[in-house]
Structures are given as structure tokens and as C-alpha cells.
Copies of this chain bind each other. A is one copy, B any other.
Amino acid sequence: MSAWALDGIPEIEPGADLAQLIGDALASDENGCLDGDILVVTSKILSKAEGRIVEASDREAAITAETVRVVATRAYEGGVTRIVENRLGIVGAAAGVDASNTADGTVLLLPIDPDASARALASALRARFGVRLGVIVSDTLGRAWRIGQTDIAIGAAGVHVVDDLRGSTDSQGRPLSVTVPVVADELAGLGDLVKGKASGRPVAVVRGMGRLVTAEVDTPGARTLPRTGPTDMFRLGTDEAYAQGFEAGRAAALAESAQPNGDPAA
């Protein structure tokens, strides 16, 4: 497997034709574009092309607008950290609203539909180069219980997002049924390693992982990766859940003491 950051992609302006610009950069790359290549595209350039730019003074309002559900908040000196579920189902800080690598005084929102953007890119580039090609759209996300961030997949097309091991066996011949490696996130992280954060090179090419690239472009995307709902054991922060429980326990006790016989019909 080999990977590198693609040179020759200009600063992206609203309305830019990304498929054309990335395709031109691929065409100029001495490594060319081969069957089974996977592109890892920083979501930021999709956001810019889509014009998802707002004034920095509206940052807090933008986070609120992008938020589906607040999971936890924590005050710090100078502001409040908000861990929220955003429009895409992704749980993280600030709903993906980002102020790095943007023009002064502005912040970027996440792309409208990164899976759809990945499909459009993959379709256009497959047509241009006549090869099977996968696209991952990456963003930088913090994690519960670990410091810092890694890049993860927020969009995908033409590539398996998980390496489904159901039916395969371990080195002892036993089913590997529990393990579901999320290769899309690992590919996004690998893209971050070769692109870097400050390089101005927003696209990585990964070669040699063609086993993950699919014949069709329209595959289950990154929208399938968030885990929310009944299987989410961390739908609220500890402080938030404790406070809700405290109020409910207090109300239950007060209701009981108002009904000393314990008979709600009394």
C-alpha cells in the first residue's frame, strides 16, 4: 500500500468544480490514477465549494443551527464546549463548525451531504479515467476517553466503509463475528498522516487497497457509521444525566410523601 498527498489543487472558491480540479491534479500527477485507487478528500474543500461559509461572529448560532441534539456541555474559561449530534448523526464538539484554514473572520460548516458529494466525485472521476475509484470525505473529530483528534470518514462512495468479517475466520479457524473494522475511518486517518493539517494539500491518494473498492459507486456511505439511538450508552454526558436523574428522583420522593399511603388514587 502506498499513499501521498496530491499536488496542484488550488485554493477552493464557492462554486468551484471539484471533480474537474481534482481530476486535473490527478492527470498531472506522475503516479497517474489506477484502478482501485482511493481518494481521501478533506471535507473543508467540499464546504468551500458549496459556499458553506458564515461570519465568525455567527459561530455560536451556526453551531446551534447545525445541532440536532445536545449531548453534553462544559464551561471553560472563555466559552462553553458543546458536544452535540449534528445533522449527519456525528457526535462531536461544535457540530463540525470549523475556523481553521478559512478566510479571516469566517467559519466553515460541514458539507450539506458528504455521501452525495463523494458519489458525485467518484462518478465523475471514474468516468474521466475509466477506472474503479473510491472516495472518502474526511473530517477531524475528537473522541470520548482519548485526547486530541483523528480524522474520520463523514462521506464515502465506491468503497466499503466497513470490512465485513462475518463469515471469515481467525488464524484458528473460528468465526470473527464480533469484529467490524471501520476501514473508512482508518483510511481517513491515513489520509491525515500524508496530508498534514497545514500543507494546503487537501486530497490524498491511497493505492493498493483495491480490495475495498466496489464495482458500483452507490454504496452504503459514512451516514451508516454513527451509532445513536437505543444502542448508544452515552446519549447524555454524565453531569447532564445525573442532573436529570436528580430532578426525577426528587420529584418522585415529593410525590410519594404527598401520598403517604402510596396509593395514587387516594
Task: Show the binding face of A for B, using Cβ within 8 Å.
Answer: 1-4, 11, 72, 74, 83, 90-92, 100-104, 140, 143-152, 162-163, 165, 168-172, 174, 176, 178-183, 185-187, 189-190, 192-194, 196-198, 200, 209, 224-228, 232-254, 257
What is the CB-to-nearest-CB distance from A210 to chain B, in angstroms, rounded to a whole number? Answer: 12
Complex: chain B residue closest to A165, CB-CB: B197
* CB-CB nearest 3 A-B residue pairs: A245-B245, A249-B249, A148-B180
Assembled-state Cα–Cα distance A242/B192 (Å)? 38
What is the CB-to-nearest-CB distance from A5 to chain B, in angstroms, rounded to a whole number? Answer: 9
Given contacts A243-B245, A248-B246, contact A176 B147 (CB under 8 A): no
Enumerate chain B residues within 8 angstroms of A102, measured Cβ to Cβ: 172
- Are A145 and B147 within 8 A (Cβ)? no
Enumerate chain B residues within 8 angstroms of A232, measured Cβ to Cβ: 144-145
Given contacts A189-B189, A246-B248, A254-B257, 18 further A-B contacts (CB under 8 A): A91-B144, A92-B145, A100-B170, A144-B227, A144-B233, A145-B227, A148-B180, A150-B182, A150-B186, A151-B181, A171-B198, A181-B192, A233-B238, A236-B242, A238-B238, A241-B241, A242-B245, A252-B253
Assembled-state Cα–Cα distance A165/B74 (Å)? 24
